[in-house]
Chain A
Amino acid sequence: MSTLAPSTIELVSRLDREAPAVEVRDLRKTFRRRDRKAGRFARKRPWPALDDVTFTIDRGECVAILGQNGSGKSTLVRLLSTLLISDGGTARIFGHDVDREASTIRRLVNRVSVEASFFKKMSASENLSYAARFYGMTPRQTNAGVPEILGRVGFPPERRGEAMENLSRGMQQKVALARALLTSPVLLLLDEPTTGLDPRSKLEVQDFIREVRAEHDATILLCTHDMAEAETLADRVGILDRGRLLFLEPVPDVKRRFGVETLEQAFFAATGRAFENEGSDDDDEYREVFA
């Protein structure tokens, strides 16, 4: 891409070429929450969001972590984004420890979450320029880079100056993708990037993820509960269930392992439960926050 953030280029050139893109060992994160049924004054109890999760992602690989809502996907993404501190285990990105070298990690990682998350009164161009400043991109660089990246995600040029609150969900998600790519991350964390999108927008976003993989030297961790999306985009697929990573293998190996034809069947075989939404990742932590 021609819009690489200068500090990222410098940092990428110094990365350990031998280190895996992501190396997670026995990662644990426990929140404390009240039982919904026990009432407001019930004692909070520990609730493991991630339970000894271990996996590795190679450089340039696209890995999908599948899981129901509340399975711990968002917690994993937040830990790798330096937004959470783990309770145990280690997570390293290109050899850098997520907890101890957070400032280095922040230059290497960007993410797209299920919520587009922008200043609603500001335009797409203003939001992108604002985000890019944190990565050292000057007005001259964003004046050229923002229209280019918005063009690449198929955002209509005439709507660049329109407030985000006037854009559709699909449009907002395209801007979110553009924001993540504008800073040239070497690790892209996609946390349900197509959830809630209409079928056409969903396909456009998926096409763009493929394009990014093909043209940009990025490693992708895709967290989703869309099994078809995981199967079409990822080299390997894992299932995170109630904080435990059950496996992380190429889809054919998963199907062979369980003797099934679909990932839904594999999930059922691995967990004994059907794949359906049971709660919300956000809800789980939300109770913790507002308790």
Chain B
Amino acid sequence: MSAYAVEMRNQLVGLFGIVERNVYLTKRYFLWDIAFMIWTIANTLTIVFISRAAPVSPEQQNTLATAFLVGATIWAFLGIIFEFMTETVAWERWEGTIEYTFMAPLSRFVHLFGQGAFAVLYGLIRATILFFVVAAFIGIHAPQANYGAALGLLALASLSFIGVGIMTSVLPLISPEKGAQLGFVCQGVMLVVSGVYYSVSVMPEWMQWISKISPATYALRGCRNSIIHGTGMVWADVWPLLIIAVLATPIGLAVFRVGERHAKKHGKLKRSG
């Protein structure tokens, strides 16, 4: 095997290792996961029930409930990706393994992409459970729903979310105390400008401009249309997601490299506690 092939093989084994570790940890924290799932369902119900109070026809209430549910589901999905990515460094620092991971011969791309890949898989499972449990509880009818298209759009958007997540994952490396919180600020800002429970057209113009560079804008719009109206993967939603996906990961990695170098220069790449 050539040296390149050996290196590729090693990196793939390393990628598997990252996913495998997260599976181990998910199994160990399973009860926490159940508690978090119940909390997310309860939280989503409080939002979706607003539609039942709206003074409109039952059919319009159903459409409104579906729109809210799609927003809440994507919020939850994005929340998991950002949590996993932003806490990549914070978790390892807390566990004390950060130095061993960063001195291992694993490329940073594989390290972070592995973390993102697990987050997407885990997030999709949770988002699917959330969607169908709340839909069943409220009694949402979506006869025209094109779930395949919605899932496809979410998968495409995930590539962009991972890229943005890589950018935020550097924050705890630069600021061990405040970095993780700043990551959650980024998540919140992204969702606010992306029209999580409303159309972006209701926002001030300057916010609408920011919404154009957020992948969540196109994921939310595409998923809503696919589930409420049954529209497939519309090109107007697909091409921005493709462009952002192509740009976000390299930019995220470049940002992370700068942050990692800064941390190594200033002695911040170390465990705490």
A residues adjacent to B (C-beta < 8 A):
6-7, 10, 31, 75, 78, 81-85, 103, 106-107, 109-111, 113, 115-122, 126, 129-138, 163, 179, 282, 285-286, 288-290
Contacts and interface: CB of A to CB of B under 8 A. Distances in A.
Contact of A129 (B20, B104, B265): B20
B170 to A, nearest CB: 15
B267 A31 contact: yes
A24 B95 CA distance: 31
Interface in B56-112: 95-97, 99-107
A107 B266 contact: no
A286 B20 CA distance: 31
B136 interface: no
A81 B103 CA distance: 6
Interface in B253-273: 261, 264-272
Contacts of A113: 99
Contact of A85 (B96, B265, B270): B265
Contacts of A133: 13-14, 16-18, 20
A136 B9 contact: yes
B105 A289 contact: no
B128 interface: no
Given A85-B265, A136-B14, A122 B105 contact: no
Contact of B103 (A83, A132, A286): A83
Contacts of A136: 6, 9-10, 13-14
A83 B95 contact: no
B272 A286 contact: yes
A259 B13 CA distance: 55
B174 to A, nearest CB: 11
Given A130-B17, A288-B267, A10 B25 contact: no
Contacts of A163: 28
B177 interface: yes
Interface of B: 3, 6-7, 9-10, 13-14, 16-18, 20-21, 24-25, 28-29, 95-97, 99-107, 176-177, 261, 264-272
Given A134-B17, A136-B13, A81 B25 contact: no
User: Interface centre among A78, A117, A118, by most B CB within 10 Å?
Assistant: A117
Classify the interface of chain B: helix, strand, loop or mixed. helix
B266 A31 contact: yes
B107 to A, nearest CB: 8
Contact of B176 (A115, A179, A290): A290
Given A130-B21, A134-B17, A117 B28 contact: no
A117 B21 contact: no
Contacts of A121: 25, 28-29
B20 to A, nearest CB: 7
A290 B172 CA distance: 11
19 contacts: A81-B103, A82-B102, A83-B102, A106-B103, A106-B104, A113-B99, A117-B97, A118-B95, A119-B24, A119-B97, A120-B95, A122-B28, A133-B16, A134-B17, A134-B105, A135-B105, A138-B13, A289-B266, A290-B176
B97 A118 contact: yes
Contacts of A106: 103-105
Nearest to B266: A288
Contacts of B270: 78, 83, 282, 285, 289
Contacts of B104: 106, 131, 134-135
A84 B264 contact: yes
A221 B268 CA distance: 23
Contacts of B269: 83-84
A110 B272 CA distance: 20
Contacts of B271: 115, 117
Given A119-B25, A133-B20, A135-B104, 9 more contacts: A7-B7, A81-B103, A103-B105, A120-B95, A133-B13, A285-B270, A288-B266, A289-B176, A289-B270
A131 B16 CA distance: 12
Contacts of A135: 10, 104-105
Given A289-B267, A290-B176, A118 B96 contact: yes
Given A31-B267, A134-B106, A10 B24 contact: no
A134 B15 CA distance: 8
- Scoring A106, A116, A119, A289 by chain B CB atoms within 10 A of each residue's CB, the highest score goes to A289
A7 B6 CA distance: 7
A117 B96 contact: yes
A83 B264 contact: yes
Contacts of A31: 266-267
Contacts of A134: 14, 17, 101, 104-106
A276 B107 CA distance: 41
Contact of B21 (A7, A10, A119): A119
